[in-house]
Amino acid sequence: MKSWRGVLIGGLAGLAGTIVMTQFQRLLAAKPPKKRNADDATVKTATALSRAVTGHAIPPKRKKLAGNIVHYSFGTAMGAAYGLLTEMQPKASTGFGLPFGMALWAAADEAAVPTLGLSESPAHTPARAHVMGLASHLVYGASTDLIRRGLSRVIPE
**Each residue of 64-98: pLDDT tens digit?**
999 999 999 999 999 999 999 999 999 999 999 99
Q: What whole-number distance in Å separates Cα of residue 25 and Cα of residue 50?
A: 27
> Of 84, 102, 86, 43, which Cα lies nearest the Cα of 67?
43
115 lies in which domain range? Answer: 2-37+72-154
**HSE, side-chain direction, 13 A CA sphere, residue 25:** 17
Flag whether 137 is in a domain: yes
- Position 91 scores a pLDDT of 94
Q: What whole-number distance in Å separates Cα of residue 81 and Cα of residue 3?
A: 10
- Position 66 scores a pLDDT of 94
- Position 37 scores a pLDDT of 58
Flag whether 134 is in a domain: yes
Mean of the per-residue pLDDT values of the chain:
91
Write a three-state SS string for 24-35. Answer: HHHHHCCCCCCC
Flag whether 25 is in a domain: yes
What does the CA dihedral 49, 51, 55, 57 come to, rounded to 10 degrees? 120
- Report which DSSP code applies to 125: S
Residues of the chain with pLDDT > 90, as a percent, come to 79
How many other C-beta atoms are found inside a 10 Å radius of the C-beta of residue 128? 9
Flag whether 31 is in a domain: yes
Output 39 or 102, whichever has higher pLDDT. Answer: 102
Flag whether 22 is in a domain: yes
Residues of the chain with pLDDT > 70, as a percent, come to 94
Flag whether 114 is in a domain: yes
Average pLDDT over residues 106-125: 91
Residue 50, pLDDT > 80, answer yes
pLDDT class for 156, splitting at 50, 70, 90? confident
pLDDT class for 33, splitting at 50, 70, 90? low
Helices 63-88 and 41-54, axial angle in degrees (round to 10): 100
Flag whether 143 is in a domain: yes
What's the number of domains the chain is made of?
Answer: 1
